[in-house]
Structure 1
Amino acid sequence: MKNEQFLRNDQFNFIKRQIQRLVNGHGTVNDAHVLNALESLSIEKVLDLFTELSDAQKEFLNKMVEIEDKESAEKYIGDLEQYIIPFNPPSEQKLKKLFPKVKKLKLPTEGLGYNKMTYLSYDDLGTKKRYIITPSQKGMIGLSGIFEETNVKQICAICNRLTNVGMFLTKTKGETVGTYTKKGNYICRDAEDCNHHLVGLDKMYEFVSNVK
Structure 2
Amino acid sequence: MIHAKETTENQHASHSKAFIRNDQYNYIKDQTKILWTAQTSTNDVEVLNVLRHLAYEKVQNLFPVLTEEQKKILHPLVQIKELSEAETFLEQLQPYLIPFKTITDQDLKKIFPKAKKLKGPNVEIINFHKTSYLGWTESSNLRYLVVELNDQLIGLQGSITRSQKQGICRVCNRHSEVGLFVAKTKNSGNDQFIKRGNYICQDAAVCNDNIKTLDSLAEFMGQFQR
Name the TM-score, length of structure 1 as normaliser: 0.93
Residue matched to 1:9 = 22
Gaps of 5+ in 1: none
- Deviation, 1:162, is 1.3
Q: Are 1:26 and 2:34 counterparts?
A: no
Contact 2:101–2:148 under 8 Å retained in 1: no
Q: Aligned letter for 1:12?
A: Y
Contact 1:154–1:162 under 8 Å retained in 2: yes
Residue 92 of structure 1, aligned match among 69, 94, 105: 105
Residue 118 of structure 1, aligned match among 128, 132, 136: 132
- Deviation, 1:108, is 1.6
Number of residue pairs matched by the alignment: 210
Contact 1:136–1:204 under 8 Å retained in 2: no
After superposition, the Cα gap between the structure-2 partners of 1:69 and 1:114, relative to the gap in structure 1 and judged at 3 Å, is same
Q: Are 1:67 and 2:80 counterparts?
A: yes
- Deviation, 1:137, is 4.6
Residue matched to 2:180 = 167
Secondary structure of residue in 2 paired with 1:27: coil
After superposition, the Cα gap between the structure-2 partners of 1:105 and 1:62, relative to the gap in structure 1 and judged at 3 Å, is same
- Deviation, 1:122, is 0.9
Which aligned segments of 4 or more residues in structure 1 are displaced greater than 6 angstroms? Answer: none
In the aligned structure 2, how far is the partner of 1:162 from the partner of 1:118? 18
Deviations 1:42-61 (Å, cap 9, x if unpaired)? 00000000011111110121
After superposition, the Cα gap between the structure-2 partners of 1:177 and 1:206, relative to the gap in structure 1 and judged at 3 Å, is closer
In the aligned structure 2, how far is the partner of 1:130 from the partner of 1:197? 19
In the aligned structure 2, how far is the partner of 1:15 from the partner of 1:176? 42
In the aligned structure 1, how far is the partner of 2:59 from the partner of 2:187? 42
Gaps of 5+ in 2: 1-12
Q: Are 1:150 and 2:130 counterparts?
A: no
Residue matched to 2:224 = 211
- Deviation, 1:119, is 0.5
Contact 2:35–2:81 under 8 Å retained in 1: yes
Contact 1:27–1:69 under 8 Å retained in 2: no
Residue 148 of structure 2, aligned match among 132, 135, 138: 135
Q: Aligned letter for 1:71?
A: S
- Deviation, 1:148, is 1.0
RMSD value over aligned CA atoms? 1.7
Residues 175-190 of structure 1 mapped to structure 2, 5 A cutoff: 175=188, 179-190=192-203
- Deviation, 1:171, is 1.1
Name the TM-score, length of structure 2 as normaliser: 0.87
- Deviation, 1:211, is 2.5
After superposition, the Cα gap between the structure-2 partners of 1:8 and 1:99, relative to the gap in structure 1 and judged at 3 Å, is same
Residues 184-203 of structure 1 mapped to structure 2, 5 A cutoff: 184-203=197-216
Secondary structure of residue in 1 paired with 2:40: helix
Secondary structure of residue in 1 paired with 2:93: helix
Q: Are 1:52 and 2:65 counterparts?
A: yes
Secondary structure of residue in 2 paired with 1:28: coil
